[in-house]
Amino acid sequence: MNLKGRDFLTLKDFTPDEINYLIDLAAELKDKKKKGIPHDMFRGKNIALIFEKTSTRTRCAFEVAASDLGMGSTYLDPTGSQIGKKESIADTARVLAGMFEGIEYRGFGQEIVEELAKYSKVPVWNGLTNEYHPTQMLADMLTIKEQFGELKGKKLVYMGDARYNMGNSLMIVCAKLGLDFVACTTKEYFPNEALVNECQEYAKASGATITLEENPQVACKDADVIYTDVWVSMGEPDEVWEKRIKELSPYKVTKELMSLAKPSAIFLHCLPAFHDLKTKIGAEMAERFGIQDMEVTDEVFESEQSKVFEEAENRMHTIKAVIVATLGE
Ligand code: CP
Ligand code: NVA
């Protein structure tokens, strides 16, 4: 498998074999790391990390992966660079490509990361846009594979805002790799029709199924994975909180819903999660709307079935695999 020189912008651009290769490469790199086997084969190389939105996992994953590979990394934060204010994306791409072997970008519209890739002669990696979060998908699939030994035929139910980066990307990866994907939410929050149709085509080839379901009890029945994400994403206005809490509360992941899934089912969340009142926003919403949690109860989040921290660790191993594969050994 040769992915050298490729950008990593959305999994739509990758075949099932290529995606499975990246997941397996991540498992190999994870094994090496656990055994203390050095893999610093990119000594002398450097990567740039552009973050126009904040991050804990993605930033740390790129920085630790780069360090393990022997590379340097430079973090450009949401306020500390000229990008978009004094310098265009096209100019930024050409400047950074002259100094770095790869560029990560997290920000707003997908068209921005595409523009960056168009003008960059080195690989560009999407660290999250409004539309997609492809590096998260590799971590999620690695986590599911570690739990069940396989991906094909597993039923993944995504609860909540299914029309944003996480819902879109999970539908794409499930369709490509042969999982049964269910988006469980109200009609307003279903993924857009064009993307559903595109994924139906991938599903024909892989044996996956795609279902849009409004009833949580029906959706969660016999699930292998129940997945959710925050109800309001980065960059969305504060005004939408009230409406989202009202409309998406029926899709909160509870113990009752988990009990409808298979006994072996796991709970996943890309994180960060609002499962208690120990965050500034969580406490503010509790005060305004009298709630204790949002997309998942603390009980489920802290349960044995919850694999969210294994999933978070896998961000690093999978991002490392993307760097290794696209820069080429
Ligand atoms: N899951 C995820 O992308 O987390 P961060 O926002 O912390 O990077
Ligand atoms: N949908 C979330 C994902 C965070 C990893 C957001 O865009 O904020």
Instruction: Determine the pLDDT at residue 203.
Output: 98
Is the per-residue pLDDT at 329 higher than 70?
no
Q: Report residue 269: phi and psi, to 5°.
A: -155, 135
Residue that the structure tokens 């168009």 belong to: 118
Is 317 an annotated catalytic residue?
A: no
Candidate list 6, 270, 293, 305, residue with the active-site label: 270
Residue 50 vs residues 74, 112, 125, 302: alpha-carbon distances, Å = 8, 12, 10, 32
Give the number of whichever ligand sits closest to the CA of residue 158: 2
Decide if pLDDT at 223 tops 90: yes
Q: Give the predicted TM-score (pTM) of the model.
A: 0.98
Q: What is the pLDDT of residue 303?
A: 98
Q: To 10 degrees, what angle do helices 308-327 and 134-148 make?
A: 120
| Of the candidates 292, 191, 305, 190, the residue with the CA atom closest to the CA atom of residue 249 | 292
pLDDT tens profile 70-124: 999 999 998 888 888 899 999 999 999 999 999 999 999 999 999 999 999 999 9
Alpha helices in 249-297 (DSSP H): 255-260, 280-289
Share of the chain above pLDDT 90, in %: 97
In percent, the amount of the chain with pLDDT more than 70 equals 100
Mean pLDDT (whole number) for 278-300: 95
270-288 confidence digits (pLDDT tens): 999 999 999 999 999 999 9
Residues 159-166 have a mean pLDDT of: 98
Atom 7 of ligand 1, nearest CA residue: 56
Clarify whether 106 is annotated catalytic: yes
Counting from 1 in the atom list of ligand 2, the atom nearest the Cα of 229 is 1
